[in-house]
Structure 1
């Protein structure tokens, strides 16, 4: 019997192919780091901010922006509730001038609704498909925002939330003594008409990273499940995979996306906000108003979440 031996080069070429054959779900897979397009989207004038890069991962000629395509322009910024970079640091809600918050008109002759938003890290808020405001700080330091909009019920809320990454395409940051630490996300919001974030909202992930072993990824209907995937932090770079899904063009307004999986609720301790003034100074408008922190089923690995909720 003749035995054909594979060269070392052949084995190395086969290794990624074998890894990809372990995955049979719907995501498109990128391997390794992204090509950085913007080194740093934001620098804090009055404090320390982590680098907030924008990168591109290319899969079969198709480009995916990481951590997300964003509408980060000054004209779109939501008003600061708390932002040390702009020296807006009220000690309580009583110190906030809510009359200075501009009102975005969705409908004429409608109720003016005030919203309080804390996102880990970045958000874009849409009402009935119209952009109402974006987070002025993409990564850190942690901040919070306040918005006003005029709309008639029923109306649709859509929020894009990004858990930013320092290591572009790798879903990680330098933190807790490790160079490659997968950070976590989180969103909490309340609105003056009684709307609050909770598990009645719908949430879907569109960018998941880092994945060290593709066999840990499962899907069940429209659920994208990574609960068995490793969330370890590393000192040294290890090649990882990223999972990408195409974002529907009409995700902000099409009601078929109200069939996405239910958002998962998390506690203040799980998100880690007890020492964050941007949150604690206005706690009565967040958990104090009955709202919960929400995310997808994986708080650590899912980095780009689209939320939908219908206010009736």
Structure 2
């Protein structure tokens, strides 16, 4: 074999070795599925300095659709955070719990469609009154939530939303209770892309939606005794999508994401989510929420309800000239997806 052939073969061997070494190097941060390796992910996690558990990417669907009549798919899923905790997204609620009553319709596109609050009172079935205290006052609650709520009074479940995602609806709930009493609500801004808090909207496949709830409580004489506002307490327990883990911050019990990006995108599969454990006794009247942040308030325009009959049919209730109820949520109505609000009526 002459020297030119030997040199040619040597060059081929060196080239093959280079290709192998290059591929090993380029794949060192990825696994066989093209996902980022644990070491690389852990380095990204170090950018986060808060108290939440952090997950990344899409959740595994566990319930395909809670409400097949809806225009959007209301699914449930689970995802494991980097500290090996399994979380239900968008929330672990009671929609499938038959013991938790559905709230009667104020306006439901797929159910009763009252044209006014007067009609709603006339059509209300007194068999749906929830008795907490037999000798209590009869209280009527009017609730519009974007998207889903579960309402507790002194720890007793009195009504849950009939539609978890869409279409938009509202409810009227009656219960008997002695004053003072404590209102506690689980609120959920549902998501189509489970685990990353987003939906198909505005031309994007990963667009962060918004939440918001407004409620009015009246006594037996139709006097308003409570409305949603900044005097309520509100805390978030699931925040997504988070594109950059360095953007969230915390100040005492405030879980802040006002510096985080809320624009839509065509691929959010690598986005992060923040999860906090919900206290087991949060529905109880004696739960200490004194350190929780005050609820943030939002206008009708910010929430986008001025074209929804489930709201506009009842502006005499929600937008009372003398006692206007405000939409409330936590500090970020776009990124915070699971929120608890509380208020005590004296």
Deviations 1:46-99 (A, max 9, x none): xx521001000112432110000111145510000000112x222222322354
- Kindly indicate whether residue 42 of structure 2 is the aligned counterpart of residue 10 of structure 1: no
Indicate if the aligned counterparts of 2:196 and 2:268 stay in contact, CA closer than 8 A: no
Deviations 1:178-235 (A, max 9, x none): 1111000000000103210000000000000000000001001110000000001012
SS at structure 1 position matched to 2:305 = coil
SS at structure 2 position matched to 1:113 = strand
Q: Which residue of 2 aligns with 1:32?
A: 57
Distance 1:98 1:290 in 2: 25
**1:230 aligned to 251, 261, 265, which one?**
261
TM-score by length of 2: 0.85
Indicate if the aligned counterparts of 2:240 and 2:337 stay in contact, CA closer than 8 A: yes
Aligned-residue CA RMSD (Å): 1.6
**2:89 aligned to 66, 88, 99, which one?**
66
- Kindly indicate whether residue 100 of structure 2 is the aligned counterpart of residue 100 of structure 1: no
Q: Which residue of 2 aligns with 1:141?
A: 167
More displaced, 280-289 or 259-268? 280-289
Deviations 1:109-162 (A, max 9, x none): 110000000000000000000100100100000000010011111111100000
Q: 5+ unaligned residues in a row in structure 2: which ranges?
A: 1-21, 31-36, 220-224
- Kindly indicate whether residue 328 of structure 2 is the aligned counterpart of residue 294 of structure 1: yes
Distance 1:98 1:200 in 2: 32
- Kindly indicate whether residue 345 of structure 2 is the aligned counterpart of residue 311 of structure 1: yes
More displaced, 183-192 or 90-99? 90-99
| Paired residue total | 304
Q: Which residue of 1 aligns with 2:181?
A: 155
Distance 2:52 2:253 in 1: 12
Q: Which residue of 2 aligns with 1:79?
A: 104
In the TM superposition, what is the alpha-carbon distance from 1:271 to its structure 2 partner? 0.1
In the TM superposition, what is the alpha-carbon distance from 1:103 to its structure 2 partner? 1.2
More displaced, 34-43 or 9-18? 9-18
Q: Which residue of 2 aligns with 1:174?
A: 200
More displaced, 55-64 or 188-197? 55-64
**1:248 aligned to 265, 268, 279, which one?**
279
Distance 2:119 2:165 in 1: 25
Q: Which residue of 1 aligns with 2:47?
A: 22
Q: Which residue of 2 aligns with 1:131?
A: 157
Distance 1:236 1:220 in 2: 31
Indicate if the aligned counterparts of 1:122 and 1:138 stay in contact, CA closer than 8 A: yes
Q: Which residue of 2 aligns with 1:192?
A: 218
TM-score by length of 1: 0.94
Structure of greater Rg = 2
**1:269 aligned to 294, 301, 304, which one?**
301
In the TM superposition, what is the alpha-carbon distance from 1:175 to its structure 2 partner? 1.1
SS at structure 2 position matched to 1:18 = helix
Deviations 1:257-291 (A, max 9, x none): 24310000100000000000000000111122421
More displaced, 236-245 or 8-17? 8-17
In the TM superposition, what is the alpha-carbon distance from 1:238 to its structure 2 partner? 4.1
